[in-house]
Structure 1
Amino acid sequence: MSIRNFAVSAIALAISQAFAPAACADDAPADTTMTEVVITGARSANANRSSVAGFTDMPLLLTPASVTVLSRERMQELNIRSTTDAAKFDASISDAYNAVGYAEQFSIRGFKLNNASSYRKDGLAISGDTQIPLENKEAIEVLKGLAGLQSGLAAPGGIVNYITKRPTDTALRSVTVEASERGTLLGHVDLGGRFGDSRFGYRINAAGERLRSYIKGADGHRNFVSAAFDWQISPQALLQIDGDYQKKSQLSAPGFQLINNVTLPNVAADTMLNDQPWAKPVETESSNLGARFLYQFNSDWNATVSANRHSFKRDDYTAFPYGCGAQDLYPGFCANGDYDVYDYRSLGEAKRPQALQAMVQGKFATGAFQHAATFGYSYFKNSERWGDYVYDWAGVSNIYRPVAVAPSTGVTGAASERRNDHERAVFVQDVVGLTDQLKLHAGVRHAQVERNEAGVEPSDQGFLLPNVSLVFSPKANVSAYASWAKGLEHGGIAPMQTTNENRALSASVSKQIELGVKADVHKDLSLAMAVFQIRQGLEYTDAANTFVRNGQRQHRGLEMTAQGKVARDLNIAFTAMALDTEQSGTGQAAMDGKRVTNVPKFKSSVYAEYALPQVAGLKVNANVQYASRKAFDPENTTFVPGYSVVNMGASYSAKFGATAAVFRAQVYNVTNKFYWRDVTPDLGGYLFPGAERTVKLSAQLDF
């Protein structure tokens, strides 16, 4: 059965059960008693806990890492509908070739995330090559820094983990509708509860969206459906299964290059370069099928087995702007705004990552020392398919005066498997209570990484990835930690038009040290600060137009966060990062000692929400985001100015009989300021403007 058919059938089953509770109850024997629930898969709405930094759900206060958690309730309050929306509220996350209509792509601590390994669903790797739906997500967890022990292969900046919504113990019926001024419309239904036999639970989410971007013509649509079930097999055993399916179609919006490859273009933020009559939307389909089994042997020992199968397909079409043939300039647009248009088509792209993880966890004592140990095995496999693409020169257009050109007559090739990856790992971690105030977190993962690539000798390497941390808690609400770790990442893939195009570099190891302090000032206010240093090999396209790893990039930074209630009616969320980056060891004077591209030295976000005591249910909010200037190119010859953006909004909660309603209004970029939000070095370097002023209205009804 396909994922799509599974999800649709599951929805029909759950809805029929959800709205017929009386019939189910009547069919049950009169003497039926409820089974005691000992194991539970439900996740607390409290965002002060996370498992992303280790293998056990634990308080963030005691986690020896910089972690943020965005709960479902928080996402609703902030009108967050995508990871792009969520990233605006964390200063450590930035756009990294995040083109409208294409894949959402980000960096953490200045390191671009790897689409094949840095995005996780319930801890297991999924592809990040499309917009990851949030309708069925209970929380977004972000681990900043190396995740070698926790995840094996992952970019050194960190990982983004999406927690799936699970069945609720009480009936949940929620509907959200949303509209923005440019015509984007969203409808979302969330249903949850237990069947007549309370051992079985369900959670259904379905959404449809008409997409109208702030960029003229970058329109599309998206449909999503998901189902999650659980079965309390016994008081000690719980089985969870889930499936989801998304189909998205949207015309993508390419970025801009420098005029004469020197100066920033002067354009409106809504300018569309992919505006040829023959332009087609990028078509993507993605799905997941997941399962998790939890068993509690006794009060101290338990086992968990998790698996997920992800599928991703894409047909990519773009009237792609690159270079200026009239001035023999590649990259760069002509002095008068002309640029070369290429007809780009890549059909049948597909990725199918499969992941499995098994863990046994328990507590024991050796003399005066208390231990919380984890022993595990993980397996990851990913197959990538693509065909020969079309990338043909089609003509010349202009950023100020668009010109229609004829499409190419080229034909794409049939897709076939071009690359597959395997990662097998065993890991162990022990959290040792040395004293009542001091804990040692020590662990290691051995990862065996195999890569097979068409036309290239296969590689098979083993890596040891240790992680050691000390956590000192002088008071119950204060902790300080020091950690050292190694991380592992697959080598980057050579971009289009390089001499080694589509070839992947060998895996690389990174190293990190981090010091941090955390405090829960009171139950509703938490503070955290961390300083870190991460070093990794530098990858770039050299003067011979070959993609290489040579030299080193070093990122040293300071992160600060404050979140919670500072007064009875005032909530705040503050996040800031100061980051110093440096390239070295390349042997090229133009690059050594220079800053890494697309990384601001300082970035911050401040959010405040005030509940007006004079009007019950009414809240107003404001958010200010700031980023300092960023280097456009590795030689630092061009810098893109910093920016600040102001957002404002309000919400009103009311009750209509048994129905609870929340009405929200948000105005983004209140001053309608133009700014360059993304300055990617990919494909010769592109700039993406931020959104113009946008008004968004939504209503959430809980029955």
Structure 2
Amino acid sequence: MKLNQVFIGISLGFIGLSNAAYAEGNNNKGTSIEIISINGTYFNDYQVEDASGAMRSNVSLLETAQSVTVIPETIIDEQLATTLGEVLNNDASLSPGSKQRNREVFSARGFQLSSSTGYLRDGHQHWSHYQQPIETLSRVEVIKGPSSILYGQSAPGGLINMVTKQPSASPLLELSADTDQNGSTRFMLDAGGEITTDTNYRAVVVKQDVNFARNYHNGETRTRDRFLGSLVVEHQLSDSLVINGYYDRTNDKAGLDTGAWLDSKGDVISENNTINDFSWAFTDITVENLGAKLTYFINPLWEVKVGYNQQQFNRQRFESSPKIPSDYQSGDSYISKPYDRSDDWQFKTAFIDLNGELTIAGIEHKLLFGANSLDYYYGQLKTNGAAINYTPGDIEPLKPAISFTTDTSLSTSQYDYYGLYFQDLMTLNQYWQVAIGGRYDKQNKEGANNESLLPKIAVLYHPSDHSTLYANYSEGFEPQRSETIENEQDKNFGMRIDATTSKQIEIGAKWELSERLLLNSAIFTIEKSGTLISEQLLDDPNYESITTQSGRQIHKGIEMSAQGAITDRWFAITSVMYLDASYKEDQTYEGNTPADAPKWSASLWSRYELTEKLALNAGIFYQGERYADNANTVTKDGYSRVDLGATYQAAIAGKKVAFRLNIENVLDTNYLAGGGINNVTIGEGSTARFEVKTSF
């Protein structure tokens, strides 16, 4: 279904987040409560007051000397999001990369986030080499800039912290079903409540089947089959001791689409809706997360948290692996190099945190002392098949009779690291605060041992109770996977590689307008040294790629954002970023801009409540002109995508029922999203989705 002529009314503006009320407490005095009566439908569910990941505790955003965006569950639900990428579109500092092989890649402030170090789940380092189960999330926190002092290895652009839904004593039962014009379906159950007097739970079950718009050469539709089951149980052992345990499992099987190919002008070669992979190519993953957290309240001011998570990730990937020849034209033949591969990742993380407050010589201190660790293992089996020469229009070749089980040489990689860290947020008076922190980090890996000592310092000035000016300096550290390039098919095989380091200076301002709208602005400079860059070699008879270290990258930028309520009926989250990113002191890419790093990007999502039962949504997502490669030889045009939505609340048989209709890309704009010359993602055309949700 194409929606080419649709009347759109969208209102733009700065929006943000607001606090509905303020309360002050004192351990030695009673608490006074101000009661505010509100007429109408106003409820600021776009509002977020803190970010647990930024300071590793629930510190107010106005006391956080760092740019942070928090995307709440309300927005995730309104957008009918099914992937993390659809959620992260709401922050302009994040740009999409490749979506090949049923996973998503992102960059923060122009730096690509690593699958192993760029993502957190409830503060645990999280292996994210798959599409995240966002139905289990209560919100997503985008933490900008280096955060290595609290979490260890991480990219300089920032971290994504996924905060999961937690048990509550109140009964909860929600059932929902959604579908789209391609016949995709998703059914979800979200339940919670009390098991016993001191034990509560939260359970989420999802079954999803996806039909994609792009088809294979033989006309078959690419599909995806996903199941998710999640359970969280919390038990209060005593007034001061709480234990929280959880388990979730994801099964996700999908046909492969490694992306479209671009010519030298940035145009797609062949048909937009045709997949270069063969229909028998697939990826099949199973992911399990098992963990627990123990919280002990020593007294009203001090607490200890101990957490452990074990993640098991198993994947089979049967590839057709098409290769784009140089000077390829539509209809030309190309080579596919099929293989069957099995991957086994095991991630074990643990942490212990001591949080507390004390006053010394009239200075208030919010203190954090902690340690965290990671134990990483990876094993791979792989069997290659004979190369296939294929010409579009011919009959698709049969699936090769190969299996990874015939590989007798298990390839493995493993390492562990631990870090010790501290942080002190000092309140000097009602106007001034100073935050200092540091971390010692040690990685143990054969041929790649690394250690680092990182500082962080920030100064905050509060001209009023609802505004903050801040400046911070922080550093990051990313040990490389080895001391040398290990891939024998790389032209620089055996080249020695150094650790990657980064440092950032950020100056920003936060202003809580009318107690319900939080405005943010930040100016930053990030310098990263030692970046590894791999480029595919076309038509090279001996090597598949060439990997180099870029020397330095310098990214400078300005961000502005707002989130919350504009009026009692109008809510929005919006952001814009200008980025000047370039390689320095690099023999290959001197002066170039990294791929998928636009100078300008912006996002807006809003809701307007017409009545207590009917609300309208509108959004605009903009990515400016970007390069498709680090050599800056191919350019992708900028684009703006417009989305519309509406929700109607009703009561049927005494139960609350919500009906939602969303139309993504309502103008049917043709655009290229993330990815490079040989794996670019073609933006979806106009897509309508409909959901029914009921609460018991």
Q: TM-score, normalised by structure 1?
A: 0.86
Q: CA deviation at 1:348?
A: 2.0
Structure 2 stretches lacking a partner, 5+ long: 1-44, 216-220, 538-542
For residues 453 and 581 of structure 2, the distance between their equivalents in structure 1, rounded to whole angstroms, comes to 26
Instruction: Between 504-513 and 602-611, report the one with greater CA deviation.
Output: 504-513
How high is the sequence identity, in percent, across the aligned residues? 22
Could you say which residue in structure 2 is the equivalent of 1:202?
201
**Partner residue in 2 for 1:606:** 604
Deviation at 1:509, TM superposition (A): 1.1
1:327-338 matches, within 5 Å, as 329=326, 334-338=328-332
- Counterpart residue number, 1:265: 268
Match of 1:653 in 2: 649
Aligned residue number for residue 210 of structure 2? 211
- Map of 1:545-624 to 2, 5 A cutoff? 545-588=545-588, 591-613=589-611, 616-624=612-620
1:7-31 per-position Cα deviation (integer Å, ceiling 9, x unaligned) = xxxxxxxxxxxxxxxxxxxxxxxxx
Q: Distance in 2 between matches of 1:654 and 1:248?
A: 34
| Distance of 1:502 and 1:234 partners within structure 2 | 57
* Residue 662 of structure 2 is aligned to residue 675 of structure 1: no
Tell me the secondary structure at the aligned position of residue 213 of structure 2.
coil
| Equivalent residue for 2:500, pick from 501, 508, 511 | 508
Q: Does 1:664 align with 2:668?
A: no
Pick one of 373, 382, 401 that aligns with 2:376.
382
Q: Which residue of 1 aligns with 2:245?
A: 241
Q: Do the aligned partners of 2:99 and 2:259 also contact (CA within 8 Å) in 1?
A: no
Equivalent residue letter for 1:144: K
Q: 1:187-586 alignment to 2 at 5 Å?
A: 187-195=187-195, 197-216=196-215, 217-259=221-263, 261=264, 263-276=266-279, 279-324=280-325, 329=326, 334-390=328-384, 392-398=386-392, 401=393, 403-408=395-400, 412=404, 413-414=407-408, 416=410, 418-452=412-446, 458-491=447-480, 497-499=489-491, 505-537=497-529, 538-541=531-534, 545-586=545-586
Structure 2 letter corresponding to 1:85 = E
Q: How many Å separate the matches in 2 of 1:558 and 1:564? A: 21
Residue type of the alignment partner of 2:439: R
Whether contact under 8 Å (2:665, 2:685) holds in the other structure is: yes
How much has 1:240 moved relative to structure 2? 0.3
Q: CA deviation at 1:407?
A: 4.8
Query: In 2, distance between residues paired with 1:236 and 1:574?
Result: 40
Equivalent pair of 1:319/1:341 in contact (CA under 8 Å): no
Cα separation, 2, equivalents of 1:252 and 1:280: 5
In the alignment, the residues of structure 2 paired with residue 128 and residue 505 of structure 1 have an alpha-carbon distance, to the nearest angstrom, of 25
Contact between 1:257 and 1:322, CA under 8 Å: does it hold in 2? no
Give the whole-Å Cα distance in 1 for the aligned partners of 2:259 and 2:77.
30
Distance 1:593 1:651, change over 3 A: same
CA contact (8 A) 1:98 1:106 kept: no
C-alpha change, 1:431 and 1:672, in structure 2 (3 Å) is: same
Report SS of the residue matched to 1:241: strand
Deviation per CA, 1:134-175, whole angstroms, max 9, x where unpaired? 122221111111111121111111111111211112100111
The answer as to whether partners of 1:291 and 1:307 remain within 8 angstroms in 2 is yes
Does structure 1 residue 690 correspond to structure 2 residue 688?
no
Supply the distance in 2 between the matched residues of 1:68 and 1:78 (Cα, whole angstroms).
Answer: 17
Shift, 1:416, TM fit: 3.0
Maintained 8 Å contact 2:270/2:330: no
- SS of the equivalent of 2:387 reads strand
* Number of aligned residue pairs: 634
- Whether the 8 Å CA contact 2:207–2:228 is kept in 1: the answer is yes
Task: Determine the C-alpha separation between the residues in 2 that align with 1:669 and 1:294.
Answer: 45
User: Does the 8 A contact of 2:46 with 2:565 survive in 1?
Assistant: no
CA distance in 2, matches of 1:632, 1:495: 24
- Residues 358-397 of structure 1: CA deviation (Å, up to 9, x unaligned): 0111111221211111111111111011123426421123
Give 1:29's aligned residue. none
Give unmatched runs, 5+ long, in structure 1: 1-43, 453-457
1:632 aligns with 2:628: yes
Distance in 2 (alpha carbons) for counterparts of 1:151 and 1:592: 31
| TM-score (ref. length: structure 2) | 0.87
CA change 1:209–1:157 in 2 (3 A) is: same
Cα distance change on mapping 1:411 and 1:662 into 2, 3 Å: closer
Q: Which amino acid aligns with 1:248?
A: D
Q: Which has the higher contact order (CA 8 A, sep 6+)?
A: 2
> Which amino acid in the other structure matches residue 353 of structure 1?
F
Q: 1:634 to 1:136 in 2, by over 3 A?
A: closer
Shift of 1:471: 1.2
The superposition leaves residues 344-368 of structure 1 with CA deviations (integer Å, 9 ceiling, x where unpaired) of 3342201111000001111112212
Separation (CA, whole Å) in 2 of partners of 1:601 and 1:607: 21
Deviations 1:582-628 (A, max 9, x none): 1110134xx21121111111011122221114xx4111111111111
**Greater shift after overlay, 646-655 or 343-352?**
343-352
Query: Against the structure 1 CA distance between its residues 125 and 75, is the aligned structure 2 distance closer, same or farther, given a 3 Å change threshold?
Result: same
Counterparts of 1:55-204 in structure 2 under 5 Å?
55-99=56-100, 101-195=101-195, 197-204=196-203
Letter in 2 for 1:597: A
Residue range with higher mean Cα deviation, 240-249 or 536-545: 536-545
SS in 2 for 1:665: strand
Please name the residue that 1:19 is paired with: none
How far apart, CA to CA, are the structure 2 residues paired with 1:313 and 1:502? 29
Asked whether the equivalents of residues 72 and 140 of structure 2 are also in contact (C-alpha less than 8 Å), the reply is yes
Q: Which amino acid aligns with 1:609?
A: R
Deviation sequence 1:331-350 (CA, Å, 0-9, x none)? xx522442523243342201
CA distance in structure 2 between the aligned counterparts of 1:496 and 1:690, rounded to whole angstroms: 35
Cα distance in 2, alignment partners of residues 169 and 227 from structure 1? 15
* Native 8 Å contact 2:258 2:277 kept in 1: yes
Q: What is the Cα deviation at residue 212 of structure 1?
A: 1.0
- TM-superposed CA distance for 1:513, in Å, is 0.9
Secondary structure class of the residue paired with 1:90: coil
Q: Deviations over 1:281-300 (max 9, x none)?
A: 21001010010000111112
Letter in 2 for 1:240: N
Displacement, 1:451?
2.3
Say whether the 8 Å CA contact 1:348–1:415 is kept in structure 2. Answer: no
Q: Which amino acid aligns with 1:275?
A: F
CA contact (8 A) 2:511 2:520 kept: yes
1:411/1:249 CA distance change after superposition, 3 Å: closer
Question: Structure 1 residues 98, 554: CA separation in 2 closer, same or farther (over 3 Å shift)?
Answer: same
Cα distance in 2 for partners of 1:274, 1:633 equals 21
Please name the residue that 1:27 is paired with.
none
* CA spacing shift, 1:185–1:402, aligned 2, 3 Å: farther
Aligned counterpart, 1:701: 694
Q: RMSD over aligned Cα, in angstroms?
A: 2.2
The aligned counterpart of 1:16 is none
The Cα shift of 1:494 comes to: 7.0
Structure 1 residues 595 and 297: CA distance shift in structure 2, 3 A: same
Cα shift readout 1:195-225 (whole Å, capped 9, x = no counterpart): 2x32011111111011112222220210110
Deviation of 1:518 (Å): 0.7
User: Could you tell me which amino acid in structure 1 is paired with residue 519 of structure 2?
Assistant: L
Match of 1:149, SS state, is helix
